[in-house]
């Protein structure tokens, strides 16, 4: 049965979901409103949407699903504009990583029977429709936060729809959601940004810290490259939770400092051992907001054509490279050459191929 699906905002997440819908349901009609005319034109030219809306208008009548994909501070502003276009069968949802505010706004406007909050736990340091991908939410957890008055049939229907887009739906209370994401997503971004700024403020005049930054530093601060506007808004909207969580984390840092000051070797060992064991017990997958990097390290001899030889072997094997380069600071890595791939399958094939040619490969 042909359905119509509407989008408010076609950024990284909205664009990726729209592309996933077009791939799985080519007969569905997809309409969208975005403040950027350039984005709408690009989405039309790529065949992702059928109708570009210049405002929230009658085009949104009779939608089976309406996705609010604007920044979290703006999503609530569109609720009152959409109210007249909602039908009993329509499911209104959002994709924001903070849920409490929009649930409260939905309740205030009397829209709870339509609303099932959503948060695909997938993303990238890059933003915008031009970086959206149909497979972005594949195998990613997709949190659903139904309002108190949303019918169970709607929740089940929407859960099946999300599953059909190859994501993994999980139903949570919106308050629990905000506490969890505040801890595993929002706090790491604050830590990453703070750590990068600490290095920036304490770097030498000739920026040796920046030049010598090891892979470990780059890995744990990679998410500091995310959108400042998005994270500013997330921190404002989930500020109470994040502040409490950050306070708990600061307490842990104070304890770590006390261990150092008192030369408590046993406590220091326990801190590193327990964190290692817990970290190693986590699934090695990309189903989360901080994406796994598919990379290997490889030993090569310092000679002309060394990198070219490896690139040629991988190209002949039909393996695409995302990035390749010499690791100058190998304090925390083995291997001279770091090679990054787009997915796990390419990585696995590359390891087998390079070992076949007797290269020493370290799979991380």
97-125 residue pLDDT tens:
899 999 999 999 999 999 999 999 887 66
Last residue of a domain, one of 175, 205, 220: 175
Q: pLDDT tens-digit profile of 176-185?
A: 999 999 998 8
Residue 204 backbone phi and psi in degrees, to 5 = -70, 165
Report which of 150, 136, 139 is spatially closest to residue 92, judged by C-alpha positions.
150
What is the pLDDT at residue 332?
A: 44
Q: Are residues 276 and 331 located together in one domain of the fold?
A: no
Range of the domain at 135: 4-175
Q: Which residue has the higher pLDDT, 7 or 284?
A: 7
Q: Which residues contact 1 (CB under 8 A, 6 or more apart)?
A: none
Q: Are residues 50 and 168 located together in one domain of the fold?
A: yes
Q: Are residues 22 and 159 located together in one domain of the fold?
A: yes
Q: What is the CATH number of the domain that holds 89?
A: 3.40.50.720
Q: Are residues 162 and 93 located together in one domain of the fold?
A: yes
The reply to whether 288 falls in a domain is no
Choose from 137-146, 206-215, 331-340 the range with maximum mean pLDDT. 137-146
Q: Are residues 26 and 155 located together in one domain of the fold?
A: yes
Please report which residue ranges of 165-283 form alpha helices under DSSP H: 174-181, 187-202, 208-212, 215-221, 228-237, 239-261, 265-280
What is the pLDDT at residue 30?
A: 97
């Amino acid at each position: 049965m042909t359905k119509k699906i509407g989008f408010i905002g076609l950024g990284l997440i909205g664009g990726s979901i729209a592309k996933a819908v077009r791939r799985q349901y080519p007969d569905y009609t997809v309409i969208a409103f975005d403040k950027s005319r350039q984005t709408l034109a690009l989405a039309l030219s790529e065949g992702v949407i059928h109708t570009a809306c210049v405002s929230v208008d009658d085009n949104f009548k009779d939608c089976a699903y309406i996705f609010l994909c604007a920044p979290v501070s703006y999503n609530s502003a569109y609720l009152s504009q959409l109210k007249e276009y909602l039908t009993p069968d329509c499911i209104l949802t959002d994709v924001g990583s903070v849920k409490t505010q929009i649930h409260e706004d939905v309740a205030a406007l009397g829209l709870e029977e339509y609303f099932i909050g959503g948060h695909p736990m997938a993303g990238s340091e890059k933003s915008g429709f031009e970086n959206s991908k149909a497979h972005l939410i594949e195998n990613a957890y997709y949190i659903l936060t139904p309002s108190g008055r949303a019918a169970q049939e709607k929740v089940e229907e929407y859960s099946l729809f999300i599953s059909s887009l190859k994501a993994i739906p999980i139903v949570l209370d919106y308050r629990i959601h905000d506490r969890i994401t505040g801890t595993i997503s929002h706090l790491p971004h604050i830590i990453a940004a703070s750590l990068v700024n600490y290095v920036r403020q304490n770097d030498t005049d000739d920026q040796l810290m920046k030049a010598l930054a090891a892979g470990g530093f780059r890995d744990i601060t990679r998410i500091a490259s995310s959108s400042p506007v998005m994270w500013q808004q997330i921190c404002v909207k989930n500020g109470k939770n994040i502040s409490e969580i950050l306070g708990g984390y600061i307490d842990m840092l104070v304890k770590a400092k006390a261990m150092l000051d008192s030369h408590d070797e046993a406590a220091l060992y326990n801190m590193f051992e327990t964190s290692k064991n817990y970290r190693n017990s986590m699934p090695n997958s990309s189903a989360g907001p901080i994406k796994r990097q598919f990379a290997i390290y490889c030993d090569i001899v310092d000679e002309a054509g060394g990198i070219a030889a490896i690139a040629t072997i991988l190209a002949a094997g039909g393996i695409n490279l995302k990035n390749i380069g010499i690791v100058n600071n190998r304090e925390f890595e083995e291997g001279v050459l770091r090679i990054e791939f787009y997915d796990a399958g390419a990585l696995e094939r590359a390891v087998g191929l390079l070992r076949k040619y007797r290269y020493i490969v370290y799979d991380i």
